[in-house]
Structure 1
Amino acid sequence: MSVKRVLFITQEIFPYLPESAIAETCRNLPQAIQEKGKEIRTFMPRFGSINERRNQLHEVIRLSGMNLIIDDTDHPLIIKVASIQAARMQVYFIDNDDFFSRKFTTEDENGVEFPDNEERSIFYIRGVLETIKKLRWIPDVVHCHGWMTALAPLYLKSAFADDPCFKDVKIAYSLYNDNFKQPFSDKFSSKLKLSGITDKHVKDIAGTSVDYDKLTQFAMKYSDGVIQQEENVDLASLEYVEKNKIKFLPYKGTALEAAEAINEFYDTL
């Protein structure tokens, strides 16, 4: 039976953020998949650089109001939504004043990456999954784009594995040339812990700083399939896919060029 629902979790979408490989893919691919007959939902962080008035974002009160505890600190979860009219596509935004009010995405005006990017990533993914539960929308495939989404596969295969919304879900993880410079701290594995996540789940990253290669491989370990979304990506990631015999879709061109192949790839997961 073909897949009917695809959840896109991304860190960038054009036109809300400037054009990039991730932003363009996540503008065009969900629309293309929707036009092929699948139902979609799309999420991204509500970075402070996004102009809410111009893009007509508004808060969804019935979905907001939950608090997520990360490293013993409560962080309120705010959900906003906007529409890309030309694509007939809604975009849900995960917001929080502590993490997303600053007028930049993942680094400051001097190009220095924010030291709390690891907590922002944890909050973002947990926020998406909790919102999907509130929506009671059951995806067949979750497709992750960008390193900020790298924890989704772990959470879906552990802490959220028995939830009715996710118990049968398959996970695709896209590879981009989206390296970050500042590794996550050696406390990262303890910060991301939730009920259902054991020491065994995080042993690959426990007690050590987590660089881009480690984080990407950690995401792929819990994914059902990997898609090469850019022509040039990290070689260590490709070697990991081959070594671990993960179901793989090599680079097929732009999002629009690759849409048919990706749509078929979903159905094989």
Structure 2
Amino acid sequence: MNILFAASEAVPLVKTGGLADVAGALPAALGGRGADARVILPKYGSIPPELAERFETIAVFKVRLGWREQYCGLLKADVDGVVFYLIDNEFYFRREGLYGYGDDAERFVFFSMAVCEALFHLDFRPDIVHCHDWQTALVPFLLKTRYAYEPVTRDALTIYTIHNLHYQGVFGKKLLQDLTGVGDDLFDGPAGLEFYGAGNCMKGGIQYADMLTTVSPSYAEEIQTERYGEKLDGLIRWRAGDLRGIVNGIDTASFDPMNDSALDTPYRGSLVRKRKNKLVLQRELGLRESETTPLIGIVSRLTGQKGFDLIGPILEELLQEDVQLAVLGSGEARFEEMFRSAEARHPGRAATWFGFNDRLARRIYAGSDLFLMPSLFEPCGLSQLIALRYRSVPVVRETGGLKDTVTAYNEFTGEGNGFSFAGANAHDLLYTVRRALSFYRDGEAWQRIVDNGAREDLSWSRPAKAYMALYGELASKRKEKSGWPVTS
């Protein structure tokens, strides 16, 4: 089976978030199960030169964007066993950042159209085009409208994955009409892109893809509700029969405390060896060195979505406990000031590092005893998976992928790999942290919780198996509709 991933970012070429991990790691895992899974993304100026120079141009063509015709180059290279294609247009993509420009609508409408045009020039024919988030949401729409009768594209099946429903690619109606060349009859109709007087790219993907996925079963249920549905819940409920939730994995070879060069002491299940890394982290961050003091780690964007409004009201009470806090991240100024002030009031007990530092993040995962992640919503979440991999016990709110991957410890059965609370309430969070701390003081119970987490399969093996089954299900549906013989 041939699969083409269309995404706006993918490791190891370029990354801003979890989407890049999925778009880079999942194709490799699918390849291990017999699929030919390849990736197409923009040729950004921020792709490292040592990787960019591997690519060779295989085609040059024009992309019609409204009344314009824009140059497009198609490049190809094998990177770490996965074939990548790059869409080259320096006007749109030779920039340092990936997103946040005033012409993002034009840039990613161009990219979606270029992906469709590239199907005529690729050196393989995809059975399924797997699109990700709003930046490629127009691909299913275009394939079912503009390209519906082209011999090369008319049989292409599409899957659309929602990584975060909050970011939908909503732009002015006239702008999107101009870029896509779609008239009022299609744009405003029941199956159009119109969205409360504007235009919505993600709506096109949800309506026109043959199947839909999102990144956890719980998030698949949540986005069908008004609370989490971001005004698309009605449409998602309409497509509920075609929606699946599949939890992401992580690269367990990269995130491996036995072979992580960022750590001082390699370890697997030994808490004694893990706590040697805690001492090194405490020394690095200016915290009081103590193997026995529980250290709470946070590695996150500092935004309201991540639950920091819940931390603020109880932060002082939390730091009255016998704990330490290590925070790495950046985001809203009010949250940065909240942690900066806490560090000033509690020297040696709270430490912050604003920005992103991958090696420090790994040391926090390894050096922390608990990992705090009280998100208001979390489609999947990777940090709690990495924490489990590094034997740091997660404390999470029961939402989305956090609910699906972290099970609250039950002292009567001995089951559970972390601690969780349901309500978006600050004192529920404080109670849950205190409960976790009570078990931390019981060495036998804590080892049991850590061991429970260590038994979890966090790799891409299970997600890849689930996606292969989904691809097979979609292909079978197409064969049944067309009258083709269905083979097992």
Q: TM-score range by the shorter chain?
A: 0.7 to 0.9
**Pair 1:127-2:98 in alignment:** no
| CA distance in structure 1 between the partners assigned to 2:47 and 2:237 by the alignment | 38
Residues 246 and 466 in structure 2, CA contact (< 8 A), matched pair in contact too: no
Q: Which amino acid aligns with 1:185?
A: G
Match of 2:27 in 1: 30
1:19-69 CA deviation, whole Å, 9 max, x = no partner? 622111111111121221122231011122112334434341x402x2223
Change (3 A) 1:44 1:147: same
Q: How far apart are residue 202 of structure 1 and its match?
A: 2.1
Match of 2:72 in 1: 77
Alpha-carbon RMSD: 2.5
Identity of aligned residues (%): 23
Q: Which amino acid aligns with 1:30?
A: P
Match of 2:198 in 1: 209
SS in 2 for 1:262: helix
| CA distance in structure 2 between the partners assigned to 1:173 and 1:206 by the alignment | 19
Residues 252 and 261 in structure 1, CA contact (< 8 A), matched pair in contact too: no
SS in 2 for 1:23: helix
Change (3 A) 1:37 1:201: farther
| CA distance in structure 1 between the partners assigned to 2:169 and 2:115 by the alignment | 24
Match of 2:90 in 1: 97
SS in 2 for 1:63: strand
| CA distance in structure 2 between the partners assigned to 1:43 and 1:182 by the alignment | 19
| CA distance in structure 2 between the partners assigned to 1:120 and 1:12 by the alignment | 14
More deviation in 12-21 or 27-36?
A: 12-21
Change (3 A) 1:239 1:228: farther
| CA distance in structure 2 between the partners assigned to 1:174 and 1:248 by the alignment | 9
Match of 1:229 in 2: 215
More deviation in 50-59 or 73-82?
A: 50-59
- Which runs of no fewer than 5 residues in structure 1 stay unpaired? 108-113
Change (3 A) 1:201 1:36: farther
SS in 1 for 2:180: coil
Say which one has the larger Rg: 2
Superposition TM-score, scaled by structure 1 size: 0.83
Residues 70 and 123 in structure 1, CA contact (< 8 A), matched pair in contact too: yes
Change (3 A) 1:164 1:35: farther
Aligned residues: 251
**Pair 1:63-2:69 in alignment:** no
| CA distance in structure 2 between the partners assigned to 1:16 and 1:232 by the alignment | 28
- Which runs of no fewer than 5 residues in structure 2 stay unpaired? 251-459, 475-488
Residues 159 and 210 in structure 2, CA contact (< 8 A), matched pair in contact too: yes
**Pair 1:6-2:211 in alignment:** no
Within 5 Å, give how 1:245-260 maps onto structure 2: 245-254=240-249, 256=460, 257-260=462-465
Residues 136 and 165 in structure 1, CA contact (< 8 A), matched pair in contact too: no
Match of 1:111 in 2: none
Residues 49 and 104 in structure 1, CA contact (< 8 A), matched pair in contact too: yes
Superposition TM-score, scaled by structure 2 size: 0.48
